[in-house]
Amino acid sequence: MAKTKKTSGNNQKDGKKKMANGKSTPSPEQLYASALELVEQSQPEEALRVAKQLWSQVQNRSATEALPAVNLLGEISIELGAVDSARGYFEQAVQLDPEGKVPEALGGGAEKFLWLAQLSEEGGKESVAWFEKGAKALQYEIEAIENRQVQGLTDEQLLMMRVDKKRKLANALCGIVEVYMTDLSWEDDAETRCENLITEAMSVEDETSPEVLQTLASVRLSQERKEDARSALKRSLATWIDLEPEDPAVPDFATKISLSRLLMEAELETEAMEVLDRLIQEDDQSVEAWYLGGWCQHLIAEGSKDNADWKDDSAMDTGAEGQALANQEKMQLALKGSRRWLNTSLKLYKQQEYEDERLFGHAKELVAKLDTVLGPEDAQAEGGDEEGWGEEWEGIAEDDEEEEEDDGEDQQMKDS
């Protein structure tokens, strides 16, 4: 186990126990390391078995010996989709460390509160209460780091830990905002609470946190302040879009999925597709990413359609005619790309027995419309499912880049 208490050499209880058949049983430290290794090897069922064996040895010991085991059980249960079991384990962790003041290295800290905020059955005020406990524990941890009360770490390690804790604190505050925008939106002070929490979150970390900026954009969209939302989303995207995928500053998969949805809501479809393109490269088995990419390209096609026709009196205007033809081509590319991505999402939906029926229904509806516009799908002509999935999008992206360059050249000419 991670940094559990060591005992003297003559205390055989903490070493390998002798069983009746003469074989030795692994120590808690060995079981903990084995369970972690199995998690890393994507064997959660086997990891759960080992973690339960570990728990049977340490559940009646001190908090610092029991906490790492029960938290590990909770996290493995999350991975297995056993939400009720996970909630039970994290609740046991709270009993062992009610205020989160046990050092994180010994299994304490804020994580259990943040998990319970997300796993709450009641949601609403109960979720807010767990988020607030998590935020308080994180503030305590940050204070301990800043006062150099954390031992055995270099200045660089302390700095990295401080950055990580501040990011988690900002995200916890954003979690409360999300609750006030959904479950508690009917509260009289919901909007004021959201504004105050966003301000606090931005002051905790800085104004370049992608997660905080996304939450700010979500609040602005709910207030119908679209331009402010678009500005926040562009700033959020700019903080990481040019980084390598493995860079720690790049948000996790779920955060990028949320970002793509917000970008689409803010009518920034090209930016949304840029994010979704990266998501598919990260995980080409994500039903939601394929679905959102198909829907986004459908929206791009709708936007191009509005500009794909020209009036008779401008037919002699070669520039207008050329632009209309370009928009028609862009619309066709977007329609074909949309159908390809949506069909891939439907295929994966069935393979994985995915449970989001609303997603399935919307994807089927969009594909039916696309079949009407494009005619029956020719798998060989369109490449079929995942093959060549980026061809249409790459064509659209190139057109957009050319338009931006043309706009820039036109502006330069005007300025000169």
How do residues 165-197 score in pLDDT, each as one tens digit?
A: 999 999 999 999 999 999 999 999 999 999 999
327: how many CB neighbours lie within 10 A of its CB? 19
* Lowest-confidence pick of 110-119, 220-229, 303-312: 303-312
**3-state secondary structure at position 17:** strand
Among 159, 168, 67, CA closest to 117: 168
Residues paired with 326 in a beta bridge: none
Residue 307: per-residue pLDDT: 53
Cα–Cα distance for residue pair 59/377, rounded to 1 Å:
59
* pLDDT over 70 percentage in the chain: 79
The contacts of residue 165 (CB under 8 Å, 6+ apart) are 138, 141, 142, 145
Report which listed range, 18-32, 88-102, 395-409, is most confident: 88-102
Among 228, 237, 248, 235, CA closest to 272: 237
Residue keyed to tokens 């979720």: 127
The Cβ-side half-sphere exposure at 201, using a 13 Å CA radius, reads 28
Residue 287: per-residue pLDDT: 96
Alpha helices in 153-268 (DSSP H): 155-181, 190-204, 210-222, 226-238, 253-265
Residue 414: per-residue pLDDT: 46
Residue 125: per-residue pLDDT: 95
59 has pLDDT over 50:
yes
Helix axes 111-119, 124-146, angle to 10 degrees: 160
Residue keyed to tokens 């962790």: 93
Amino acid type, 183: D
Q: Which domains occur in the chain, in start order?
A: 253-311+318-405 (1.25.40)
How do residues 282-340 score in pLDDT, each as one tens digit?
A: 999 999 999 999 999 999 998 766 554 444 444 445 556 666 666 778 788 899 999 99
